Amino acid sequence: MTKTPFFDASLFSKDNVNTSRQLEVDLVKVLAILTMVLVHVFEFSFTIDDVGKTVPMWLTLIIEFCGGPLSAPLFMTAMGVGMAYARKQDALTYASRGKILIRQGYDLNFWRGGLLYLVIYTITKSDSSLFYVVQGMLVLDILHFAGMTFLFLALLKLLKMKPGQILLVGIVMEVIATLMPPVAADSVLGAGVLGLLFFQNQYTTFPLFSWFIYPAIGYFFGHMLLRVTDKKRFYQRILIAATGVFIAYTGVLIALRYDLTEIFLGHGYYAQGVLRATWILPICALVYSLFYFVSPVVKGKGKRLAEFISSKVNDIYIAQWILITWTCTILAEYTAPTVGSMIALVCIITVLSVALAYGRSRRDGRFFKYKK
């Protein structure tokens, strides 16, 4: 491997030597799922009118930051690392996995949105509830994105692309996504189809072109990690590089009077684009580095719990969404949310989601029955 400003050949072996489970990656997934539960409960409990009143602005910004750079981007980069470490990496396996994830995405749409609004429509006979049944079924979420990522990587595998080339494809796609305006923002069906590829509206949360950069760089990073001979030095250099890039880029944005909160607030977060991704990726790198240096203190039951959550992250994600939508909708009919009740609900739903995932792993009964 040729020398670069931050890495040299002495850090890497020609063969895969670092093939065991990577605890820092497990910890990244744990953080991602916790921040997802936090931001989902928050956004289902409060409206924009509550910000500054029921919920202080500073707390809103912290929660939205956690649900932004520290949530989906971390989850997606970790997914890319996992793909690099997978035993089977052929196109057929990737395509099969992709189809399963997309099916899970639409099944989740039914259980958390379609069925919920169908029940509301049955009770209220409201035409708007019937509209939300359709809209709830067409919401595009991170499971749809994960499925599209596996399908797209299956294609790139057929083209025999290497990790570096796949990363380059991800960069090009990000540029295209930045320049591509929504063309079906006002069409529920159109957005539900085109939104798989490009951002259309708030219901197309993770379009492939906008977000592929994260699993692509995770896949590239995973292949680097496989050949690392000195992880401590490797992560030290990543920490230095990521800190430098983040500080410099943030300084440029501040000098240009750009509002940094726009990167993770509002629907623009889902559109991503070069500006947002360039700010978020160094944060992801910082988290990986910091978790590597923290990981030695995570031992015994804590380590096993982190490994379990990491291995069952899809089940936990599905469980938390179903619990959140139904619980928050029912509670809203009887009580006004507070910051305290939100925090309590986050803790309860997190524990229940992990417990349900554990139950699924212990017996055949499960939310969705798919062959692995």
What's CA 31's distance to the chain center, in Å? 11
Residue among 176, 182, 170, 263 at smallest CA distance from 218? 170
What percent of the chain lies above the pLDDT cut of 90? 69
Residue 214, both tokens: 């994260």
Mean pLDDT of 223-236: 94
The pTM of the full predicted model, rounded to 2 decimals, is 0.92
Q: Amino acid identity, residue 162?
A: K
Longest dimension (CA), the chain: 68
CB atoms within 10 A of CB 357: 25
- Most confident residue range from 125-129, 189-193, 251-255, 359-363: 251-255
Predicted local distance difference test score (pLDDT) of residue 192: 85
For the chain, the average pLDDT equals: 90
With cut-offs at 50, 70 and 90, classify the pLDDT of residue 7. Answer: low
User: Sorting pLDDT into bands at 50, 70 and 90, what band is 1?
Assistant: very low
Question: Helices (DSSP H) in the chain: which residue ranges?
Answer: 23-45, 57-66, 72-85, 91-109, 115-124, 127-138, 142-158, 163-179, 188-194, 208-211, 213-226, 231-255, 268-271, 274-294, 300-311, 313-331, 339-362
- The whole-number pLDDT of residue 183 equals 80
